[in-house]
Chain A
Amino acid sequence: MELEETFKQIVSDYSEQLYWHVRGIVGDHDDTDDLLQDIFMKIWRALPGFRGESGLFTWVWRIATNEALGYLRKKKVRAALQFQSLDAKAERVIDNDPYFNGDAAQRELAKAIAKLPEKQRAVFSMRYFEDLNYEQISEITGTSVGALKASYYHATQKIKERLNLSDGFESK
């Protein structure tokens, strides 16, 4: 019963924030919705084993990030087996997304982000949109701060190239 209460508290505290975390990585609303069910199912199953070595936020974000990255990897394999280009598909999805409410520049940014390798995309989204610091991202992903800084730098360089920006795009 206590576990159920804790789980409901996690749902209440984190579900909306976690939605935006996952959406930042996978982009599509329906995919995010499906993934959230799987993520919270995993959280519920793993909750009895949570010992609190890492904070609850880090633990939940780690589960969600791994799940989202796993989903993107599977998607990439499926596309490769069907000889499809994921980049072209991602552009179509963003162009036809009924839940996209940005301007033209934001649309181009979303397309450039969608073309990043999945890990760079996750790091970029956590740093740029969620404003997490490198130490937090390091705890979530299990990657060193140095590697994360390099990953974020490469991501911003690729985005700048795709958007034909020189120094107008802020990196952190």
Chain B
Amino acid sequence: MKRHLPYSTPEGYFQDLQQRLADIPGKKQATTFQKFSPYLALAAVFAVAVVVGNVIINRTAAPAAASAREVVEYLMDSDLTLSQLEDAIFYSD
């Protein structure tokens, strides 16, 4: 014996349902781009935020400190005397 679900539907529901379902072939289906455009927009906003943030950080950050080798090479190329070089190396912090 087939048992029935204890549910009902709104008045005239199946007529309306059949009409809506029969209209499906005429509906314009969303393209892949349309389906993913919200995600693409979100990704674009994120990318722009990363680029802008990077530019701001690079422009406002203090220049990187020169390495010891670079300082020594700079001083060696300068016209300083040996005593001035010693002072520059040993008394610099």
Contact = CB atoms under 8 A, between A and B. Distances in A.
What 5 A-B pairs have minimum CB-CB distances, sorted nearest first?
A102-B6, A106-B6, A131-B2, A101-B8, A11-B21
A11 B6 contact: no
Interface stretch (A35-43, A50-58, A62-70, A73-81): A35-43
A99 B21 contact: no
Given A23-B5, A130-B2, A16 B10 contact: no
Interface string A11-24: 11001100110011
A44 B25 contact: yes
A24 B5 contact: yes
A15 B14 contact: yes
Contacts of A11: 18, 21-22
Interface string A91-125: 00000010111110011011000000000000000
A44 B7 contact: no
B6 A7 contact: no
Contacts of A16: 14, 17-18
Interface residues of B, number: 19
A99 B25 contact: no
B22 A36 contact: no
A128 interface: yes
Interface in B1-19: 1-10, 14, 17-18
A23 B7 contact: yes
Interface of A: 3-4, 7-8, 11-12, 15-16, 19-20, 23-24, 29, 33, 36-37, 40-41, 44-45, 97, 99-103, 106-107, 109-110, 128-131
B17 A129 contact: no
Contacts of A15: 14, 17-18, 21
B35 interface: no
Contact of A99 (B4, B10, B14): B10
Contact of A12 (B8, B9, B18, B20): B18
B21 A29 contact: no
Nearest to A28: B7
Contacts of B29: 41, 45
A110 B8 CA distance: 14
Given A4-B25, A15-B14, A37 B6 contact: no
Contacts of A44: 24-25
B50 to A, nearest CB: 27
A19 B2 contact: no
B41 to A, nearest CB: 23
A7 B25 contact: yes
